[in-house]
């Protein structure tokens, strides 16, 4: 569940200004008066604020809706009716936001494919219920004819649903510090310009000839968003979807598409965008799993290195302890001659051996490389037999090593 934070005056003003601006930008082809348009991204901003601040944002949202009714739609109904409509829409979006807030795990909405599907399902179902309730209220107020209520519900549902599904991921990332950093990094990548140009070219081919072409090349728009999603994950898909959506709206304005054509474009666009988002989330998920696997392998390698060090250092440390005890005993006897010097030389040799073991194992676990050197077989066998010979002599056992033929082994001495 996403925890709600306090809504400041700055946040409230940003919500009001952003909602009115988005409503103004998307106000075209109104149906049954100025209430129903084929594209409505303003609720996406509302849901972002509701998810971040909870129900305290709903009252501010109602004020934003009312100001949009006054400033954008020139108050098509009386002020009390407009206030009631604003309150109804704010409560509807508040219910959708609360449902999302309770069903999301942690602060990340689009963390994995299941989170994306839950988000899309709640948005689709919530906007449908809101559309039905809103249109029935307009019918009861004689603002929408009873005979056209089903068409009104369909258009209002598509307008709100597409506006939220296409715009909300981008807005959510813009209001999140980590999301903004990710978007900045994505914008500066060299392949970003490539898929932006590809999106522009696909738009020109798909809808550049107007509705008379029946948008038979609309499938070309899948190429840039899939490219962006596969290369840059969800951030690339979000940026590509924004470019495509803005381009489609510009084409709608310039070529004067009918409301039916706009609805057709929007219906296909939401499928296009959700496919891109799903691919982007899967790519992000795989990259995250790969990073976790690399970290797990590093920890496993560190554990293996620790075990190897414990094993390899056991012998030289044991020998150092034995030689140190021998030196103490010799000094206690007053010995300062060759026997003491020999024990000290052996201590230095074992210390150098321990240091070499650490150095070689560190290089091996860091790079996977070994340092090969020519090792005579006789020297290798003598070094391996020396500790046993000392133990055997103390136990009164005669240790015999058979002669070894001449030969050289190319190997890593400390690892052997």
Q: What's the pLDDT tens digit per position in 148-174? A: 888 888 888 888 998 899 889 999 888
Conformational region of residue 343, where left means phi above 0, alpha means psi within -120 to 50, and beta covers everything else: alpha
How high is the mean pLDDT of the chain?
Answer: 82
In this structure, what CATH number is given to the domain that contains residue 72? 1.10.1760.20
Q: What is the pLDDT of residue 263?
A: 72
- The H or E element that residue 375 is part of is strand 373-376
Q: What is the pLDDT of residue 91?
A: 94
- Residue 405 belongs to a domain: yes
378-412 pLDDT, tens digit per residue, is 888 888 888 788 788 888 898 888 888 888 988 87
Using alpha carbons only, how large is the chain's radius of gyration in Å? Answer: 37
Both tokens of 36, joined, read 């129903």
214 pLDDT more than 60: no
Q: What is the pLDDT of residue 205?
A: 77
195 neighbors 227 (Cβ within 8 angstroms): yes
408 three-class SS: strand
Domain count, the chain: 2
- Residue 254 belongs to a domain: no
295-328 pLDDT, tens digit per residue, is 887 777 677 767 777 777 777 788 788 888 888 8
What residues make up the domain containing 394? Answer: 370-416
- Residue 279 belongs to a domain: no
Percent of the chain residues topping a pLDDT of 70: 90
Q: What is the pLDDT of residue 211?
A: 47
Residue that terminates a domain, selected from 175, 202, 217: 175
115 pLDDT more than 70: yes
Sign, CA torsion 47/53/54/58? negative
- Residue 264 belongs to a domain: no
Q: What is the pLDDT of residue 106?
A: 54
Residue that terminates a domain, selected from 142, 175, 208: 175
Q: Of 248 and 181, which is predicted with more confidence?
A: 181
Mean pLDDT value across residues 10-26:
91
What is the Cα–Cα distance from 144 to 230, expressed in whole angstroms?
45
Q: Using alpha carbons, select from 101, 26, 31, 98 the residue that is nearest to residue 68.
A: 26
- Tokens 């906007």 — which residue? 127
Report angle CA 411, 412, 416 to the nearest 5 degrees.
95
- pLDDT-derived band at 365 (thresholds 50, 70, 90) equals low
What is the Cα–Cα distance from 365 to 368, expressed in whole angstroms?
5
173-206 pLDDT, tens digit per residue, is 888 888 888 888 888 888 888 888 888 888 777 7
- Residue 234 belongs to a domain: no
Q: What is the pLDDT of residue 65?
A: 92
Q: Using alpha carbons, select from 61, 26, 63, 20 the residue that is nearest to residue 41.
A: 26
Residue that terminates a domain, selected from 159, 175, 191: 175
- Residue 22 belongs to a domain: yes
User: What does pTM read for this prediction?
Assistant: 0.69
Mean pLDDT value across residues 100-111:
70
Q: What is the pLDDT of residue 181?
A: 87
The secondary structure of residue 34, as a DSSP letter, is: T
- Residue 385 belongs to a domain: yes
- pLDDT-derived band at 260 (thresholds 50, 70, 90) equals low
What is the Cα–Cα distance from 299 to 133, expressed in whole angstroms?
56
Sign, CA torsion 149/151/155/157? positive
- Residue 97 belongs to a domain: yes
Q: How many helices (H) and strands (E) does the chain have?
A: 12, 2
Report angle CA 289, 273, 100 to the nearest 5 degrees.
70
- pLDDT-derived band at 209 (thresholds 50, 70, 90) equals low
What is the Cα–Cα distance from 68 to 62, expressed in whole angstroms?
10
Q: Of 129 and 324, which is predicted with more confidence?
A: 129
């Amino acid at each position: 569940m996403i925890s709600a934070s306090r809504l400041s005056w700055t946040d409230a003003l940003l919500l009001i200004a952003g909602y009115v601006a988005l409503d103004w930008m998307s106000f075209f082809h109104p149906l049954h008066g100025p209430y129903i348009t084929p594209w409505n991204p303003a609720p996406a901003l509302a849901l972002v604020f509701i998810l971040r601040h909870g129900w305290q944002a709903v009252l501010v949202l109602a004020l934003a809706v009312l100001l949009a009714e006054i400033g954008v739609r020139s108050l098509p109904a009386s002020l009390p009716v407009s206030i009631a409509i604003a309150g109804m829409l704010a409560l509807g979006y508040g219910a959708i936001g609360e449902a999302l807030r309770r069903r999301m795990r942690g602060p990340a909405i689009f963390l994995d494919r299941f989170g994306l599907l839950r988000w899309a399902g709640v948005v689709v179902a919530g906007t449908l219920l809101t559309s039905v309730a809103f249109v029935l209220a307009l019918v009861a107020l004689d603002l929408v004819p009873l005979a056209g209520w089903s068409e009104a519900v369909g258009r209002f549902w598509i307008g709100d649903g597409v506006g939220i599904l296409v715009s909300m991921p981008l807005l959510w990332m813009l209001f999140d510090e980590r999301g903004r950093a990710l978007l900045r990094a994505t914008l500066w990548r060299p392949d970003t310009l490539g898929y932006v140009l590809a999106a522009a070219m696909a738009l020109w081919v798909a809808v550049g000839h107007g509705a008379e072409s029946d948008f038979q090349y609309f499938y070309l728009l899948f190429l840039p968003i899939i490219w962006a999603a596969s290369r840059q994950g969800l951030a690339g898909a979000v940026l590509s979807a924004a470019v495509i959506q803005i381009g489609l709206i510009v084409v709608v304005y310039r070529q004067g598409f009918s409301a039916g054509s706009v609805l057709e474009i929007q219906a296909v666009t939401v499928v296009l965008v959700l496919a891109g988002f799903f691919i982007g989330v899967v790519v992000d998920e795989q990259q995250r799993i790969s990073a976790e696997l690399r970290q797990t392998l590093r920890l496993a390698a560190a554990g293996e290195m620790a075990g190897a060090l414990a094993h390899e250092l056991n012998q030289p440390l044991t020998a150092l302890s034995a030689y140190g005890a021998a030196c103490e005993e010799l000094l206690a006897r007053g010995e300062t001659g060759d026997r003491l010097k020999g024990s000290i030389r052996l201590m230095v040799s074992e210390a150098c051996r321990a240091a070499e073991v650490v150095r070689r194992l560190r290089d091996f676990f860091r790079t996977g490389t070994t340092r090969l050197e020519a090792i005579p077989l006789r020297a290798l066998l003598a070094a391996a037999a020396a500790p046993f010979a000392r133990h055997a002599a103390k136990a009164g056992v005669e240790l015999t090593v058979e002669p070894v033929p001449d030969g050289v082994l190319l190997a890593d001495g400390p690892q052997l």
